[in-house]
Amino acid sequence: MAAVGYVAVLRDNRAFRRLWYGQVCSQVGDWLDAIALYALLLRLTGSAAALAGLLVAQSLPSVLVGLWAGVLVDRLPRRAVLIAADLGRAALVLLFLLVRGPDLVWLVYAVSFAKFTLSSFFEPAREALVADAVPAEHLPAANAVGGLTWSVTLAGGAALGGLVAGGLGAEAAFLLDALSFLLSAAFTRAVRVRETHLEGRRETRPFQELREGLTFLRTRRDVALYALSKALWSVGGGAVLVLLPLFGRRVYPLGRDGALSMGVLYAARGVGAGLGPLLALRLWGTSVRSLRRALGPGFLLMAAGYLLFAGAPLLALAACAVALAHCGGSVQWVFSTALLQQGVPGRLQGRVFAAELVLLTLVTCVSSYAVGALADAGWPPRRLALLAGAAFVPPGLALTALLWPAPAAGKDGAARQPAAGLPEDGVV
């Protein structure tokens, strides 16, 4: 798809455009907040396990409430869910301002847990609402825009977060993050979209609805693989979440508490994540077959990048390796989302995206905490980076083998026809 496709999807879809404005505001704030929290925790505790504990606190809500959040997202107006989650997170972020010493570190974990509980409702609702905000033929471009926006806000927000936290302090970053959630809620309130999942809906018990979503995944092998892709990425990806701040503080220290070097590495992650889907769509197109076949190689590119990162002698070379890695990581992330939006009925999308979120956060929780514990046990960061890079290889090879062939017609429900207007071969 040509670059103009990304401009057109914003120009021609007002509802999606307003959702996108909210995404930009919210995600810039998220990365301001993240860099500030990483620097604050490492300064107050000096422990990689404390940093990993933060990632666990951010992951557990999706594991504990994620599946039921999906049920509610399929029962309630999704726009209202987004607004309520934004307003709640704006209030919670302000509580970080109370953390002034090691005795209040517990508050970081408690607030993060509550904030990400609301995010467990927000993320599936937003991904499902996108499918109502654009025509089916615009979904690949809409997802590429969403992925590119995440990448650009990561690069800009992380770099800005490093500057703000490293120069003005964590408190300024927290105030800006709260403001970003309020702006996101304002833009979402202006979205006017027909929420098709509420039309003709039969009232059933929540447990029956949960079972319906899980049964759909169990009986659609290829759709289950798309939903599993991000969890497999998190085997190494959870380690990466600990390694980048750790490298910023211990290997390439720059700025207060290493916040500037953390910002550089996260900005490089954003640059790579932005370029990956754009290049992949230009080279291979947007057919279902192309999207499927890109998932496995995306893992292998991620592995190559982090194996190079492990030995990089300079911050600039490390940033280039991170950018290369996340070209591949973003391809599997954006493409697996597009395949799910195309292959899952609208009334089930909240539950399917919530199940995907539960799996990936559970794996992230285990992976990140394991790496934090190994770091505190004396493992050098470079050895841990080699371990993380190697972790992407087995799932990359497995997904390549399983998804490279076209799905057999009639064998899998998602394979009987091209997904939502996409050709099985060629470019839209």
DSSP states of 357-413: HHHHHHHHHHHHHHHHHHHHTT--HHHHHHHHHHHTHHHHHHHHHHHSSPPPTTTSG
Give the pLDDT of residue 356.
Answer: 82
DSSP 248: I
Which is nearest to 183 in space by CA: 153, 152, 216?
Answer: 153
Angle at the Cα of 169 (from 164 to 171), degrees rounded to 5? 100
Where is mean pLDDT largest: 137-151, 156-170, 322-336? 322-336
Q: CB-based contacts of 34: which residues, under 8 Å, 6+ apart? A: 158, 161, 266
| Residue among 97, 369, 32, 410 nearest 234 (CA) | 369
Question: pLDDT per residue over 210-249, tens digit each?
Answer: 677 778 888 888 888 998 899 999 899 888 888 888 887 7
pLDDT of 419 above 60: no
Q: Which tokens belong to 149? A: 């926006």
* pLDDT of res. 158: 66
Report the candidate in 259, 231, 238, 245 with the shortest Cα–Cα distance to residue 371. 238
Higher pLDDT, 163 or 227: 227
Which range has highest mean pLDDT (33-47, 69-83, 95-109, 257-271)?
Answer: 95-109
- Stretch 280-308: mean pLDDT, rounded? 88
Q: Dmax over Cα atoms in the chain, in whole Å?
A: 61
**Average pLDDT over every residue of 407-423:** 41
Separation of first and last alpha carbons in the chain: 7
Chain segment 57-80, per-residue pLDDT in tens = 887 887 777 667 777 777 788 888
Binned at pLDDT 50, 70 and 90, residue 42 comes out as: confident
H or E stretch covering 218? helix 206-219
Residue 160 has pLDDT above 90, yes or no: no
Task: List the one residue out of 185, 165, 188, 156 whose CA is nearest residue 91.
Answer: 185
Task: Report whether pLDDT(394) > 90.
Answer: yes
Q: What is the pLDDT of residues 103-141, one digit of tens each?
A: 888 999 999 999 988 888 887 788 778 877 877 777 777
Helix, strand or coil for residue 31?
A: helix
Residue 13, Ramachandran bin (φ over 0: left; ψ between -120 and 50: alpha; else beta) = beta
Residue 353: CB atoms within 10 Å: 27
Q: Give the pLDDT score at 415.
A: 37
pLDDT at 6: 66
Neighbour-count burial for 21-38, b at 16+ CB within 10 Å, e otherwise: bbbbbbbbbbbbbbbbbb
Q: In this predicted structure, what is the pLDDT of residue 420?
A: 33
| Percent of the chain surpassing pLDDT 90 | 18
Number of CB atoms found within 10 A of residue 10's CB: 17
Distance CA 340, CA 241 (A): 25
Which tokens belong to 156? 């800009």
Which pLDDT value is given to residue 168? Answer: 72
Q: How confident is the model at residue 295 (pLDDT cuts 50, 70, 90)?
A: very high
The per-residue pLDDT for range 317-373, each reduced to its tens digit, is 999 999 999 999 888 888 888 888 778 887 777 777 777 877 887 888 788 888 888
With 80 as the cut, is the pLDDT of residue 260 above it? no
Domain positions in the chain: 4-191+206-414
Question: Tokens 């993050």 map to which residue?
Answer: 177
Residue type, 24: V
CB 38 within 8 A of CB 172: no
Rounded Cα–Cα distance for residues 359 and 408 (Å)? 26
Integer-rounded Cα radius of gyration of the chain: 20
Whole-number mean pLDDT of the chain? Answer: 80
Structure tokens belonging to residue 379:
């493992």
pLDDT at site 407: 65
pLDDT of residue 392: 95
Residue 305 has pLDDT above 90, yes or no: yes
299 pLDDT above the threshold of 90: yes
CATH of 4-191+206-414, one of 1.10.3300.10, 2.40.128.20, 3.30.2130.30, 1.20.1250.20: 1.20.1250.20
